[in-house]
Structures are given as structure tokens and as C-alpha cells.
Amino acid sequence: MSSMSGWSELDDRVVAHARALAADAVQKVGNGHPGTAMSLAPVAYTLFQRHLVHDPSDPTWLGRDRFILSCGHSSLTLYIQLFLSGYGLEMKDLQEFRTWGSLTPGHPEYGHTAGVEMTTGPLGQGVATAVGMAMAARYERGLLDADAQPGTSIFDHSIWVICSDGDLQEGVSAEASSLAGTQELGSLNVIYDDNRISIEGDTHNAFTEDVSARYRAYGWHVIDVAASANGSVDIAALDNAMTQAKKETSKPTMIRMKSVIAWPAPKAQGTAGSHGSALGDEEIAATKVALGLNPEEKFAMPDDLLKHARQVKVRNALVRATWDAQFATWAANNSQQAELLARLRTKELPAGWDSDIPTFAPGKDVATRAASGQVINAIAKTLPEFWGGSADLAGSNNTSIDGGGSFLPATSAIKDAHPYGRIIHFGIREHAMGSILNGIALHGLTRSFGGTFAVFSDYMRGAVRLAALMNIPSTFVWTHDSIGVGEDGPTHQPIEHFAALRAIPGLDVVRPGDANEVAESWKTILKRGRAAGILLSRQNLPVFDRTDCASATGTSKGAYILKDADNPQAILIATGSEVSLAIDVQKALASEGIAVRVVSAPCLEWFAEQDQAYKDSVLPRSIKLKVSIEVGIAQGWHQLIGDAGIAISLEHYGASADAKRLFKEFGFSVEAIVSKIKAAM
Ligand SMILES: Cc1ncc(C[n+]2csc(CCOP(=O)(O)OP(=O)(O)O)c2C)c(N)n1
Ligand SMILES: [Mg+2]
């Protein structure tokens, strides 16, 4: 039994049963990850019982700490604590582990199981997303309680993470951890399960660096916790480390904790086999004997032990009540902020929030990235919760909020640094930027965006997919969206990216055709509150004369008739920079007596949601010749243009030359498209 105060023999018995539960749950379904959940059971229990500020009766309590299990494969680590703390999971749910419709899927899923703060499973993401949560915590504090002394605000709380070797091998965690050091995110506490085992065995087959030294070099506070003599996690030392972690408020803390996977299974402990395979009845029985449990019993958690563990609910209800009282005082003294908070919690946009968004006059060509920059600044005026930045391309992505100040700790020597600044400098870390945006969105109160070149959306794809999977409102700003980039050449010219991004279910891929479509796109993105990416041109584009064309409000429908003709013989469907080209093609054909309709299609996902009558009105079946014009691969377009359609596309990499020349060389000219259409007629 551990000698620390407030820890009793009952706690030891809960932990012993929790270890056995992990083994039983995997054995029952026949697959899963028992070893880590067994060895981490005391770690998570200590955190949930003694350190994590949470209210199991209200998993969305604003004042709570956040907990992320970055090594999502060890989902039982979390499920068992949710069961023991009384979040609503019961033994039956553990028995249904990894089965259809259960509350205990293979990896934790946000929005599915109460108490799960993020979907994890792709290693590294949890650590990186937690960095975003810690950044959001500081920014939100700035909105609500800016002047409170450090550690005294009711909005001060910690972000706790348990991660594994794989989490720290993944680059995304390194990107984000480096930034967390620069940002001095004292609220972030990461417990690293240093068990030196991954699927292929000893991690020294690929991972020999001194992780502690690396994190110290990042500017973290690192605490090393050795294992007990018998191989189990040293709970008293870990408990003490957690206390130290909370005390350190000017640096993120890493607790590097030695453990033995699957401890104390006699044969399986310390083996890679225990990572992802059921241990087998015999080994589980032997483990139970080693734990002092009845080897005949499965899924055991005696009532007295469960009752003991669930006292955490009672204890924390008192913490919650105190917080509620402090909150009431805060609200009474800060009526404006309280009003803001009430709105932010409902995720509603205030009346007139979009009143400063400009309308762009025709006549002067505008790059859609430049229009986006203006729109971002207009939104920033009315929505204090709107903030973001770029992966070192702010000037190119047009993502800076004028006068917003750089989000940096008070100690920073950077000009315009401010702990509550609205401009995030992500550094050249696209993947972490994506994860951090997800963390900000998950944290709950604010809306954030992050920019880079569209071609580097690939670098952040893991995070983008998770944003869509979790259905959270991360907004990705992807500029330089085509060969229109010009001279930088094929490494910088997206080709397959539109299709690749549209392939992600639940992601809105928005490619506005002119400045006014940009304004409407941002409005729609903000209103919908879903994961979205906006693709913007580097080069100037004409601003359509809306007295001559349809209103840009059609943007929110995803596709709309921009400019019609009497009895059109064909429909041109274009996105982004190709919409103005389509208008020119329409003119050229008209001069030859051929009438065609031009449809601008800024977002195929939004269009897909429209009713059939609307879709048929824009793209009637009776007009057989449908022509898509988009300067990327054609993949996906045949769904809209059908067998009789033509896709004007780019099926190969670009080249280094001026943009106009590239469009012409690659068939994106009025002449080339007109002749293709005429041939098809
Ligand atoms: C990005 C990513 N790559 C690969 C995997 C597949 N995978 C799951 S767990 C794991 C390694 C497990 O090692 P470790 O992180 O040390 O966890 P432990 O076995 O100690 O629980 C791998 C490669 C994954 N989940 N995510
Ligand atoms: Mg490991």
C-alpha cells in the first residue's frame, strides 16, 4: 500500500480491480489493448481521484480541467475512470467494449461518450491538441477575466494529458511541444508513459534520444519518476509530481514516468504482445492471483470499492459548489464579460456581427486572399472570440488581425507581444497548427483559424481529418490555391488537393470565385460552425458586377447560377479563379451564337445539402453538356457533370513560370475551352 496521505487500502483494491477489468474487457471481445490500460490504471486513478478538477455530474462544466488520453489505443484507461468516477459508464458498458453501438468504442470518441474531451487514436494528436486547449484557456481568460492575478481566476484550470512512446515519436507532438515551451503554457501537464515498448518491441529499435533533455530544451519543466522496485508505477512519487506540475504555472510540465506494460501479468508484462492482444484466460487468471484477486471472477468491482471510488463525485460537488459561488460573484462584478460568456456558451453570433464585412465593388481586381484578409478584420471587430494566425505566412495568407497583438507570454521580447493577443504565430508547423486549432475549438468558447499555402494542407491532413471527424469548427485558411502561384513552381502548386480535401467526409471545402464570394463564404463558415477550409487565390481576380450577375449570397447554397443565358445548351461549372474564366468563355461562345449558363460552385459540400429541386434548377438533367472548369485533377467532378460532361482539369504537376503563361499552356484559356465545348456539341 502506498504511504501517501489520503490513500487507503481501498484505493489499492480499486486499482487492482481496474487492472483486471482492462484485461477482462479485452479478453471478452477478443481484441484491443490490455497492457497499457493495466499499467496506467493507477496513474489515471490518481489523476481522476486526487488532482483533476472535474465534476462527473456535469462533464461540460466550464471550470473543469481537461483530460486527454493521447494514446487512444489505451481507451480502457479512460473508460475505467469514467466508470469509477460516475460519468454514466457502467460495468455493462465495459462489457460491451469495442462492440456495435456501445459507449466504449475502440478509441475514445468525442461527442459519443460523456467525459471524452477529444477523439484520440492517431498518435501525437492528443499532445498537440492539448497545446491548443492550453492556448485557448489563456485567450478565454483574457476575454473574461483579464486582470485577475495568475492562479486566482475561476477560469484558470489545467490541461492534463497521458501519452505514450508513440505520441512522442510522432512529429506533430514535437512541433506543438516546442511551441508550448515558447508560449510558457504553465497550465499544460503531460504524463509520459515511458514503458519502452511499442508494437515492434523495445522502442530502442527506433527511439533512443533523451526525451527529458529534449523537453527541457523546449523550455518545459520535466520531472522524472522512476518505477517502484517491483516494477509497478511509483504512485506516491507520481502523486507528488502531479502536485509539482500544478504548482508550475510558467512552463508546461512533463512527468516522465517509468512503467512496465501489463504489470503484473507474470508472462505478458514488459512485452510488446501485451500492447495489442488479449492476454488469454490463463494469463489473466495468473494476473488476478498476483493482484490478490479471485481468478474465477470476471468484470469484478465490489460495491464497496465502487462506492469508495465514486466518492470523488461527492467531494468534487463541493469544489463545484464553491466555484459556482465564485462564478456568481464574478458575474455580478463583470456584467459585460458575463454577458459575453453567456453568448459564447450558446455559440450564437450576436446581431449585426457581420455588419462590418465589406462589399467589394467591381472594376478593381482583388486576390481572394486579400479579400479574405479584409473580411477577417471586419469579423474581428465584432467578434472578440475570433482569433488566429498562420504558419509563418501571415503576410501571404492575409491572416493577421490589425492591432490584434501577438499571442505570446508576458515575458516575450517580441514587439506587440501580449498574453491575450489575437494573432497566433504557429511557426512553420502546419500539422501542429491544425491540431492546435482543433484544441482551441474543443476548448469551447472561441473561433479560430490558421493559414498556410494550400499545397501544404497535406502536412496538416491528420489534424484536418480529426476536425471533420469530431465535427468541430476549426477553420483552415489555404491560400495560393493553384498554378496561379506561378514562378514558385510545382512544389508550391496544388493539383490533387481540392479532390483530396473534398474526399474528407464532413469537411467543407470552400473555394470562392471572387471577393464578394469570399465575404459570403466566411459568413457561411462562421454560421455553420463545422470544420471548413477556405481556398484562396494568390493572384488578383475580377470582382463580378453583381448588377449583371446573380447576388453573391448564392454562395451559401454551395453552387448557384452566376450568369444565365436564354435556352442554354451547356452549363459551365467553375470554382475559384476559374469562375471568371468561365464568364469569358460564356461571352466568347455567345458571340458565336452559343448560349451557355455559368454556375459558380464555391462549395460542393454545401450544394450537396440543398434540396433536389434547387439542385435541379441549377444543374437541370435536361442540359446534358455540363463542363467543369477547375485547375486541379478532375476526380470527383463526374458526379456532377455526368457521363456526357467534360472536365477541364489539370492531371499533372505544374511548372515554374508566370501564372498567365501556365494557365494558357495547360489549357485554361478561353480558346482552348471554347474549342473543346464546340467539339463536344
Ligand atoms: C499516427 C499513428 N500511427 C500508428 C498507429 C498504430 N499504433 C497504435 S499503438 C502504436 C504504438 C504503440 O506504442 P506506444 O505508443 O508506446 O504505446 P504502448 O504500447 O506503450 O501502449 C501504433 C504504432 C497509430 N495509432 N497512430
Ligand atoms: Mg510504449
User: Is residue 517 domain-shared with residue 439, that is, in the same domain?
Assistant: yes
Cβ of residue 260 lying under 6 Å from some atom of ligand 1:
no
Instruction: State the Cα–Cα distance between residues 76 and 33, nearest whole angstrom.
Output: 8
Please report the pLDDT score of residue 3 as a whole number: 72
Task: Indicate the SS3 state at residue 290.
Answer: helix
Cβ of residue 463 lying under 6 Å from some atom of ligand 1:
no
- How many domains does the chain contain in total? 3
Where residue 478 falls (left for φ over 0; alpha for ψ -120 to 50; beta otherwise) is beta
Task: For ligand 1, pick from 38, 73, 193 the residue to mutate: most ligand atoms within 8 Å of CB.
Answer: 73
Residues involved in catalysis? 430
Residue 501: inside a domain = yes
Looking at 496, 512, 541, the residue that finishes a domain is 541
Query: In three state form, how does the secondary structure of 191-224 look?
Result: EEEECCEECCEEHHHCCCCCHHHHHHHHCCEEEE
User: Is residue 526 domain-shared with residue 584, that is, in the same domain?
Assistant: no
Cβ of residue 70 lying under 6 Å from some atom of ligand 1:
no
Ligand closest to CA 466: 1
Question: Alpha helix locations (H) across 108-210?
Answer: 125-145, 165-169, 171-182
Picking from 649, 575, 578, the residue whose alpha carbon sits closest to that of residue 605 is 575
Residue 343: inside a domain = no
Residue 558: inside a domain = yes
Looking at 508, 541, 574, the residue that finishes a domain is 541
Ligand closest to CA 123: 1
User: Is residue 521 domain-shared with residue 597, that is, in the same domain?
Assistant: no
User: Is residue 435 domain-shared with residue 558, that is, in the same domain?
Assistant: no
State in Å: Cα 277 to ligand 1 middle: 13
User: Is residue 206 domain-shared with residue 268, that is, in the same domain?
Assistant: yes
State in Å: Cα 219 to ligand 1 middle: 26
User: Is residue 187 domain-shared with residue 105, that is, in the same domain?
Assistant: yes
Q: What is the CATH number of the domain that holds 377?
A: 3.40.50.970
CA count, 13 A, side-chain hemisphere, 31: 5
State in Å: Cα 73 to ligand 1 middle: 7
User: Is residue 640 domain-shared with residue 502, that is, in the same domain?
Assistant: no
Residue 360: inside a domain = no
Please report the pLDDT score of residue 150 as a whole number: 83
**For residue 292, with 0-12 CB atoms within 10 Å meaning exposed, 13-18 middle and 19 or more buried, which class applies?**
exposed
- pLDDT < 70 stretches in the chain: 1-2
User: Is residue 111 domain-shared with residue 218, that is, in the same domain?
Assistant: yes
pTM score of the predicted model: 0.98
Task: For ligand 1, pick from 70, 123, 207 the residue to mutate: most ligand atoms within 8 Å of CB.
Answer: 123
DSSP state letters, 424-439: EE--S-HHHHHHHHHH
Over residues 219-237, the pLDDT tens digits come to 999 999 999 999 899 999 9
User: Is residue 59 domain-shared with residue 180, that is, in the same domain?
Assistant: yes
User: Is residue 111 domain-shared with residue 55, that is, in the same domain?
Assistant: yes
Task: For ligand 1, pick from 199, 204, 258, 469 the residue to mutate: most ligand atoms within 8 Å of CB.
Answer: 199
Domain interval for residue 482 = 366-541
Cβ of residue 168 lying under 6 Å from some atom of ligand 1:
no
- Is residue 194 a contact partner of residue 258, using CB atoms and an 8 Å limit? yes
Residue 475: inside a domain = yes
Cβ of residue 119 lying under 6 Å from some atom of ligand 1:
no
Residue 468: inside a domain = yes
Q: Which residue has the cell 462564478?
A: 327
Residue 332: inside a domain = no
Looking at 480, 513, 541, the residue that finishes a domain is 541
Residue 117: inside a domain = yes
Over residues 57-80, the pLDDT tens digits come to 999 999 999 999 999 999 999 999
Please report the pLDDT score of residue 151 as a whole number: 83
Cβ of residue 165 lying under 6 Å from some atom of ligand 1:
yes
Where residue 416 falls (left for φ over 0; alpha for ψ -120 to 50; beta otherwise) is left
Please report the pLDDT score of residue 1 as a whole number: 56
* 3-state class percentages of the chain: helix first, strand second, coil last, to nearest 5: 45, 15, 40
Planar angle of CA 466, 469, 475, nearest 5 degrees: 65
Task: Please give the backbone phi and psi of residue 479, each rounded to the nearest 5 degrees, phi first.
Answer: -100, 175
User: Is residue 137 domain-shared with residue 257, that is, in the same domain?
Assistant: yes
- Measured in whole angstroms, the distance separating CA 300 from the mean position of its chain's CA atoms is 37
Please report the pLDDT score of residue 446 as a whole number: 98
- Measured in whole angstroms, the distance separating CA 190 from the mean position of its chain's CA atoms is 18
Provide Rg for the chain, Cα atoms: 28
User: Is residue 562 domain-shared with residue 537, that is, in the same domain?
Assistant: no
Ligand closest to CA 39: 1
